[in-house]
Chain A
Amino acid sequence: MKKKEQESKFTSVSIPTPLFEKIKKRIEGTGFTSVSSYVVYVLREVLAEDAVDEKEAFSREDEERVKERLRSLGYLD
Chain B
Amino acid sequence: MARNRLLVIGLDCASPRLLFHEYSGLLPNLERLRAGGWWGEVESCVPPITVPAWMVMFTGKEPGELGMYGFRNRIPGTYNDTRVADSTSLQVPPLWARAAGAGLRSCLIGVPPSYPPYEVNGDMISCFLTPGTDRPYTYPRGLAVELEEQELAYVPDVAFRKENKAEILASLREMTAGHFEIACYLAEEHPWDLFVMVEIGLDRVQHAFWRYQDPAHHLYESGTPFDDALRDYYRLLDQGIGELLEAAGPDTAVAVVSDHGAKGMKGAFCVNQWLAEKGYLALQGEVKPGTRLEDAPVDWPRTKAWGWGGYYARVFLNVEGREPEGVIRPERFEAEVEALAEEIRKIRGPQGEVWDTRAVTPREVYSHTEGDVPDLMVFFDDLSWRAAGTMGHPSMYLEENDTGPDDAVHDWRGVGIIYHPEVDMGKRIDRDFIPIQDLYGIFVELLGIGD
A residues at B contact (CB < 8 Å): 1, 3-4, 6, 31, 41-50, 52, 57-58, 62-63, 65-67, 69-77
Other than A48-B141, A57-B84, A74-B311, give 5 A-B pairs with Cβ distance below 8 A.
A58-B84, A72-B160, A74-B401, A74-B404, A75-B310
CB of B142 within 8 Å of the partner chain = yes
Is B311 in contact with A77, judged by CB distance below 8 angstroms? Answer: no
Known: A1-B240, A76-B72, A77-B309. A45 touches B389 (CB 8 A): no
Query: Which residue of A has the minimal Cβ distance to B145?
Result: A44
Contacts of A47 in B (CB 8 A): 142, 145
Q: How many A-B residue pairs have CB under 8 A?
A: 113
Is B142 in contact with A63, judged by CB distance below 8 angstroms? Answer: no
Is A44 in contact with B142, judged by CB distance below 8 angstroms? Answer: yes
Query: Which residue of B has the minimal Cβ distance to A55?
Result: B88
Contact with A along B181-195 (1 / 0, CB 8 A): 100110000010000
Contacts of A42 in B (CB 8 A): 142
CB distance from A63 to the nearest CB of B (A): 6
CB of B293 within 8 Å of the partner chain = yes
CB of B131 within 8 Å of the partner chain = yes
CB of B86 within 8 Å of the partner chain = yes
Contacts of B71 in A (CB 8 A): 70, 75-76
Q: Show 11 residue pairs from A and B whose CB-CB distance is below 8 angstroms, ordered by the A residue.
A: A1-B240, A4-B151, A46-B142, A48-B136, A48-B141, A48-B142, A57-B86, A57-B116, A67-B82, A74-B310, A75-B70
Is B145 in contact with A4, judged by CB distance below 8 angstroms? Answer: no
Contacts of A58 in B (CB 8 A): 84, 86, 131
Instruction: Give A75 to B185 CA distance when docked, in angstroms.
Output: 32
Instruction: Give A63 to B49 CA distance when docked, in angstroms.
Output: 20
CB distance from B21 to the nearest CB of A (A): 25
Is A3 in contact with B181, judged by CB distance below 8 angstroms? Answer: yes
Known: A1-B239, A52-B136, A69-B157. A74 touches B141 (CB 8 A): no
Instruction: Give A4 to B292 CA distance when docked, in angstroms.
Output: 48
CB distance from B209 to the nearest CB of A (A): 14
Is B146 in contact with A66, judged by CB distance below 8 angstroms? Answer: no
Contacts of B150 in A (CB 8 A): 4, 6
Contacts of A76 in B (CB 8 A): 71-72, 308-310, 389, 403
Is A77 in contact with B144, judged by CB distance below 8 angstroms? Answer: no
**Most B Cβ at <10 Å: residue of A4, A43, A72:** A72
Contact with A along B127-165 (1 / 0, CB 8 A): 001010001101011111110001100000101110000
Known: A62-B131, A62-B135. A73 touches B207 (CB 8 A): yes
CB of B38 within 8 Å of the partner chain = no
